[in-house]
Amino acid sequence: MPDFYTLQDLAQWQANGETLIPPARLAVIGDPIGHSKSPQMHNPALREIGLDGQYIRVLVPKGTVEVALRQMAQMGFIGINVTIPHKFEALDAVDEVDPLARRLGAVNTVAVRDGRLVGFNSDGPGFLRSVEEAFGTDVSELRVLVLGAGGGAGRAVSVQCALGGCPQLFLVNRTEEKSRALKNEIQSFSGSTVVKTVSWNDAALRAVLPDVDLIVNGTSLGMKDEDETFIPANSLTKMHCVFDMVYRPGGKLTSLGQAAAAANAAYTDGRTLLLHQGAISFEFWFQRPAPIETMRKGLTEALLAQ
Ligand SMILES: NC(=O)c1ccc[n+]([C@@H]2O[C@H](COP(=O)([O-])OP(=O)(O)OC[C@H]3O[C@@H](n4cnc5c(N)ncnc54)[C@H](OP(=O)(O)O)[C@@H]3O)[C@@H](O)[C@H]2O)c1
């Protein structure tokens, strides 16, 4: 079986009446897409609920998201996950956007309902569940600092924290105009969360970290060995919770993970989010609880095999 299919493959199946066995009923679309572990997470769950269908990867170039989604809906797909770089394009490609996805500014899950494309976001609620699982508390109890509060993931997490009643939110982004714009946006709807921007430099971060409970890395830094630790040395303590949205093959620690371990801080990485956003997508598609332990096992095995 190839790592991924293309829109041409789908068109050919449609024209010739071909199908996979079991038939493709769910997919993740993105560019690139061959690395996605979502099939290994979702296919065991589909088998567990007895669905005669499989989850595949489809390579979809920028600018063709709507065409792809409509083609898949016509072919009997139940749902589609949307990943980099299409989460914004998908917002305009669907027939209806769930209010939370609209507020978070991105669609990462599409459900086909009566032939209509309905867009959801499972990253935000997946983040909340991940925090609960990893740290045994929820964001209403935590002062949160988000690094990368200008990119798609950092934005979704920041907005979700404010919606979840986080008392204090510190927004950090290399390009500061973006974190300032996000601060204004969050303040326009959230009465209870105090939002501040913090500059991306050692002195500013060092000054604010004693007033932070949860540190979230929503940047793409930390995946490579050569990525430097961007938290000032010796500024993490065992009182901090650290959530790196990035993860590395084979469960290797990210640079932030290494700093958290050295400080004895509670830590989790992007694998937790991958699992919980996947489970919530499953719930949008099937409107039933996801077999989370089966999904966790499939994902863990796939990541360890990398
Ligand atoms: N585990 C999961 O399920 C999950 C889900 C979503 C995302 N993620 C991960 O989260 C990361 C961000 O994804 P995204 O979709 O938000 O990407 P994005 O929209 O491209 O945003 C990238 C962010 O990283 C910052 N950044 C990039 N290079 C930097 C550098 N050298 N120094 C400082 N900041 C830098 C950017 O800052 P500027 O604004 O200044 O460019 C921006 O805030 C990715 O690694 C992705 O894999 C994981």
Residues 113 and 131 in one domain: no
Structure tokens, 122: 């499972």
The pLDDT value recorded for residue 17 is 85
- With 80 as the cut, is the pLDDT of residue 306 above it? no
- With 90 as the cut, is the pLDDT of residue 89 above it? yes
Tokens 């929503």 belong to which residue? 218
Residues 65 and 131 in one domain: no
- With 90 as the cut, is the pLDDT of residue 224 above it? no
Residues 141 and 239 in one domain: yes
From 62, 127, 180, 220, the mutation candidate for ligand 1 (largest count of ligand atoms within 8 A of CB) is 220
Q: What CATH number corresponds to the domain at position 141?
A: 3.40.50.720
Best CA proximity match to 126, nearest among 148, 86, 152, 156: 156
Atom of ligand 1 nearest to the CA of 85: 15
| Rounded (10°) angle between helices 152-163 and 123-135 | 70
Which residue has a Cα nearest atom 31 of ligand 1?
A: 221
Cα gap 151→140, rounded to integer Å: 23
Structure tokens, 156: 């979704």
Residues 79 and 158 in one domain: no
Atom of ligand 1 nearest to the CA of 223: 45
| Rounded (10°) angle between helices 123-135 and 270-286 | 130
Among 87, 224, 252, 297, the one annotated catalytic: 87
Residues 75 and 185 in one domain: no
Residues 41 and 91 in one domain: yes
Instruction: Kindly indicate the confidence band of residue 233, based on its pLDDT and cuts at 50, 70 and 90.
Output: confident
Which residue has a Cα nearest atom 13 of ligand 1?
A: 153
Kindly report, residue by residue over 53-68, the tens digit of the pLDDT: 999 999 999 999 999 9
CA of 222 to the centre of ligand 1 (A): 10
Kindly report, residue by residue over 189-222, the tens digit of the pLDDT: 998 999 999 999 999 999 999 999 999 999 988 8
Residues 250 and 153 in one domain: yes
Residues 183 and 111 in one domain: no
Residue type (1 letter), 110: V
Best CA proximity match to 242, nearest among 163, 122, 129, 146: 146
Residues 161 and 248 in one domain: yes
Residues 247 and 203 in one domain: yes
From 108, 130, 174, the mutation candidate for ligand 1 (largest count of ligand atoms within 8 A of CB) is 174
- With 80 as the cut, is the pLDDT of residue 299 above it? yes
Mean pLDDT value across residues 102-117 = 96
| Rounded (10°) angle between helices 152-163 and 176-189 | 30
pLDDT, the chain, mean: 95
Mean pLDDT value across residues 244-269 = 92
Residue type (1 letter), 163: L
CA of 220 to the centre of ligand 1 (A): 4
Residue 61 to residues 7, 9, 65, 240, Cα–Cα distance (Å): 9, 14, 7, 40
Q: What CATH number corresponds to the domain at position 93?
A: 3.40.50.10860
The whole-angstrom distance between residue 65's C-alpha and the CA centroid of its chain comes to 18
Which residue has a Cα nearest atom 25 of ligand 1?
A: 219
- Cβ pair 243, 217 in contact under 8 A: yes
Q: Which residues contact 156 (CB under 8 A, 6 or more apart)?
A: 104, 105, 106, 121, 123, 124, 127
Residue 226 to residues 222, 230, 254, Cα–Cα distance (Å): 8, 12, 10
Structure tokens, 137: 């508390």
CA of 173 to the centre of ligand 1 (A): 10
Best CA proximity match to 161, nearest among 214, 97, 101: 214
Kindly report, residue by residue over 126-167, the tens digit of the pLDDT: 999 999 999 999 999 999 999 999 888 899 999 999 999 999
CA of 200 to the centre of ligand 1 (A): 14
CA of 246 to the centre of ligand 1 (A): 9
- With 90 as the cut, is the pLDDT of residue 241 above it? yes
Q: Which of 13-22, 25-34, 158-167, 296-305 has the lowest mean pLDDT?
A: 13-22
87 is catalytic: yes
Atom of ligand 1 nearest to the CA of 155: 16
Question: Domain range spanning residue 237?
Answer: 124-268
175 lines ligand 1 (CB under 6 A): yes
Residues 155 and 168 in one domain: yes
The pLDDT value recorded for residue 228 is 75
Q: Comparing 222 with 173, which gets the higher pLDDT?
A: 173
Please tell me the pTM assigned to this model: 0.95
123 lines ligand 1 (CB under 6 A): yes
Residues 230 and 132 in one domain: yes
Domain count, the chain: 2
Within the chain, what is the greatest distance between any pair of CA atoms? 64
